[in-house]
Amino acid sequence: MKKSLSWFTILLFCLFSLFPMLYVVSISLRGDNAFGSRSLALFNSQSTLKNFSELFLHTPFLKWMMNSLYVSTVVTLSGVILAATSGYAISRYEFKGKKIMLMSLLTTQMFPATMLMLPFFIVLSKLHLINKFLGLIIIYSSTALPFCIWQMKGYFDTVPKELEEAAKLDGCSSFQAFYKIILPMSTPALVITGLFSFMSSWSEYLVAAITLQDPELYTLPLGLKSFQASLATQWGLYAAGALVVSIPVVVLFIMISKYLVSGLTVGSVKG
Amino acid sequence: MNALELKNITKSFGFNTILKNVSLEVNLGEFLVLVGPSGCGKSTLLRIISGLESSSTGEVFIGGKNITLVEPQNRDIAMVFQSYALYPHMSVYENMEFSLKIRKLPPVEIRNRIHEIADLLQMTPLLQRKPKDLSGGQRQRVSLGRALARRAPVILFDEPLSNLDAHLRQQMRIEIKKIHQIFKSTIIYVTHDQTEAMTMGDRIAVLNKGQIEQIDSPFNIYHSPKNIFVANFIGTPEMNLLNGEMRNNYFVHKDFDFNISKDISSHDVVLGIRPENITLSENQGIAGTVQFFENLGPNGLLHVHTGNEVIKLFIQGQNIPKINDKVFLNVDQSKLKLFDKKSGSLIQ
Ligand SMILES: Nc1ncnc2c1ncn2[C@@H]1O[C@H](COP(=O)(O)OP(=O)(O)OP(=O)(O)O)[C@@H](O)[C@H]1O
Ligand SMILES: [Mg+2]
């Protein structure tokens, strides 16, 4: 009895949070651009995949997707590599200015993105990086990195120093100890850091809007927004696009869910 | 030639001097046990030998070569860490394989070595497990195995058996000795455990506050301690240490005195006598009352109160005096030690 009650509660909340999602699905399947429809039916006799074919065949959606994928992948890879190496150095080595560096990394996180818009734009145009992916990538990386570095440092702090020492006695140089022992056992932290980098660039709109002006270079959020720009918003297309955009994120989350709750260091040292 | 030599090693952390002028020579294939109270610098000394820590001054030699400045990975020293330090993402087999692979040994040789050690340490069934799926004792065995599979000429052990139960500990003690006899590595073995020190070591080094108090065979460490610290530290139960004074061949204590046929000038001394070198007697000797009896199985430890002092002695058999009984103690003159009270060192 108690069990069924809790199941019921969970189901209720699931429906509650899934409802907007399902609504978007139903819109994307309607042929008639009927945003205002009152019907709650997910499917009806007129449901079609027309919006999706339209999206891929008659809009630059695929192009935008490749753009987004490119930018996000570069940001993720560089973010993970830089965060892992610098986080490790900060966690393990003492050097001058370490405290100040850590604090200033933290400080950068205190400014809201909107406040940085103008300086970003000025810097990018001075560097002739407007309308270039590189400009976007630099900004995405620099905004995501401080958090990623802190996250990796925090993780490495929990890894016992004896592991590298054992590796050294086993014949590794400092760098080998890092990439043969420490990195492989850090997969959970690396994956989460990577996910954070990916998410922060995949769905970002504001910075992309000031950096990229050529529709050819649009990333997905910009592209989606452009459906809205004309007098009559194509809600069906918009909904279909929104669904496709969210798919990679959902897939990523499912793929890495096992890492989100894992304690891989368990068992390496006493206690 | 010495397998390992330390010359005047001093180590300070900030203003804290942890090791003071430690010099040590270890012979090829020797099993040297390092004992000392917690915090006396045992682990630090091992870390300096392995190169994980640099000494403030002094030099380390291995096989006659000065390796003071050589990186740890180039020293060819294996170490069993106090905290295991197993690689958590690798199976037991991979943990043992890692160093051998780095050293580019042929795969067949690697496999043979791992299986040989796994057999010796009875952990063949564990080879495919990850460290997190092992018990504390099993982890400890794996970390032993990992060091042994290397067959490094010098192996350092930092309290490798501290987490095992008494039975397993005894078993592992024998295994380690066996393995030592097979591979003849030079071993420095840190332990808290008296029995381990006594049974395993070719020699024992007693470390106290960063200084070596005495290095000698287990027999000599036990029977001829050089000073009060060693006398007190080695042996369970501890040696009885009685503060007194020498006066004309008499040892004078607050509660008693007796003749000692040793020619020693008058001054303050500490008399040391082990519990097994005191016997009960009918009517003469040190008078006292029985305070407590500890049954240890094969024998028992009697605590005798003499007024200001409690003297402990071993007794055997059925005739155990009752608490508060009056007894007399006889000290085996040939076994007693006299230490200078001021310097703490052995007089005779
Ligand atoms: N990195 C360090 N910085 C400062 N002090 C240290 C450091 N490492 C060790 N010490 C100090 O050095 C002393 C000796 O430590 P060490 O670990 O060598 O003791 P130990 O004899 O191995 O003790 P135990 O038997 O408890 O393992 C301790 O007082 C410890 O606090
Ligand atoms: Mg220690």
Q: Domain spans of chain A?
A: 24-35+46-266
Check residue A270 and give its pLDDT. Answer: 45
Range(s) within chain B of domains with CATH label 3.40.50.300: 4-233
Range(s) within chain B of domains with CATH label 2.40.50.140: 240-340
- Please name which ligand lies nearest the alpha carbon of B192: 1
For residue B36, the CA-to-ligand 1 centroid distance in Å is: 12
Q: Is B103 on the interface with A (CB under 8 A)?
A: yes
Give the span between the Cα atoms of A61 and A72, in whole angstroms.
16
The residues with which A59 forms a beta bridge, in sequence order, are none
Min Cα separation B84/chain A (Å): 5
Q: What is the pTM of this model?
A: 0.84
Which residue bears the tokens 């930092």? B158
Kindly state if the Cβ of B42 falls inside 6 Å of ligand 1: yes
For residue B157, the CA-to-ligand 2 centroid distance in Å is: 10
Model confidence pLDDT, tens digit, residues B112-142? 999 999 998 889 999 999 999 998 888 988 9
* % chain B with pLDDT above 70: 100
Q: What is the mean pLDDT of chain B?
A: 91
Mutate to test the pocket of ligand 1, among B10, B12, B16 (most ligand atoms within 8 A of CB): B16
CB-nearest partner of A171 from B73, B132, B133 = B73
Model confidence pLDDT, tens digit, residues B79-97? 999 888 999 999 999 999 9
Those residues whose C-beta lies under 8 Å from the C-beta of residue B177, and which sit 6 or more positions away, are B31, B199, B200
B264 vs B255: which has the higher pLDDT: B255
Check residue B257 and give its pLDDT. Answer: 87
CB B339 within 8 A of CB B227: yes
CA A226 to chain centre: 22
Sign of the torsion angle spanned by Cα atoms B56, B62, B64, B66: negative
Q: Is B130 on the interface with A (CB under 8 A)?
A: yes
- B30: pLDDT strictly greater than 90: yes
Task: Say whether A170 and B89 touch across the interface (CB within 8 A).
Answer: no
Give the span between the Cα atoms of B204 and B216, in whole angstroms.
6
Give the span between the Cα atoms of B92 and B133, in whole angstroms.
10
CATH class as words, domain A24-35+46-266: mainly alpha
Show pLDDT as tens, one digit a residue, over chain A (271 residues).
Answer: 778 899 999 999 988 888 888 888 888 887 665 556 666 666 766 777 888 888 888 888 889 999 999 999 999 999 999 999 999 999 999 999 999 999 998 888 888 878 888 888 899 999 998 898 999 999 999 888 998 999 999 999 999 999 999 999 999 999 999 999 999 999 888 988 998 899 889 988 888 988 888 888 899 898 888 887 666 777 888 888 888 888 888 888 888 877 766 544 444 454 3
The hierarchical CATH code for the domain B240-340 is 2.40.50.140
In A, which residues are within 8 Å of B154 by CB distance?
A: none
Give the span between the Cα atoms of B224 and B230, in whole angstroms.
9
Give the span between the Cα atoms of A254 and A263, in whole angstroms.
18
Give the span between the Cα atoms of B121 and B147, in whole angstroms.
12
The residues with which B302 forms a beta bridge, in sequence order, are B293, B313
Residue of A nearest to B53 (CA): A165
Give the span between the Cα atoms of A241 and B281, in whole angstroms.
101
Tell me the pairing of strands B257-259 and B268-273. Answer: unpaired
In A, which residues are within 8 Å of B102 by CB distance?
A: 170-172, 176
Which residue has its alpha carbon closest to ligand 1 atom 5? B13
Sign of the torsion angle spanned by Cα atoms A23, A24, A30, A34: positive
A248: cis peptide before it, omega within 30°? no
Domain B4-233 has CATH 2.40.30.20: no
CB-nearest partner of B87 from A171, A176, A268 = A268
